[in-house]
Amino acid sequence: MSGIKDKNFSDFNKEIIFGEGGAIVGAALISSIASHFTLNRTIIAQFAVIGSFVGGSSIFLLEKIKNKIRRKEPIFKSIIRDLEYFTPAAAVIGLTVGYPTLYYITKFLVKMKWHIFLSGAVAEICAFSLFLILINLYRLILVRKFKRDIA
């Protein structure tokens, strides 16, 4: 049983880390594109958040599907079940901690004259670090207290 939980923990964090790769690229790329249309740092920071969300959620979901196929689990049913528990927590953590951190750090770094792409990427890494810690605490509570796994 312990090995299964460890493998699920590993798969869960790989999915999040791959998603984070997509979020970093998305935040940096979309904020850079936005900077070609405006130099308004508020708008650039807003586009960093949008890019983070789109890039991160897309790659996270693709990695989750890959893991479900590898474990020979029913893809649609098990992903829906996992997302029923993951999505509300991820949304709350993202909206209250992750995205505000991304927004304000991007805005600050742009004000400090950092390169836009680098500003979006560094801010996303900071926001992700907080998200990763909090989502793993949530998963730990689900596993230990409610015997529910979301990997």
DSSP assignment of 64-103: HHHHHHHTT--HHHHHHHHHHHHHHHHHHHIIIIIHHHHH
The reported pLDDT for the residue numbered 44 is 93
Profile the chain (151 residues) by mean pLDDT over runs of 10 residues.
61 91 92 94 93 93 92 88 88 94 94 92 92 92 83 68
The reported pLDDT for the residue numbered 9 is 82
The reported pLDDT for the residue numbered 78 is 85
The reported pLDDT for the residue numbered 1 is 42
pTM of structure: 0.78
Question: Is-contact 14 99, C-beta < 8 A?
Answer: no
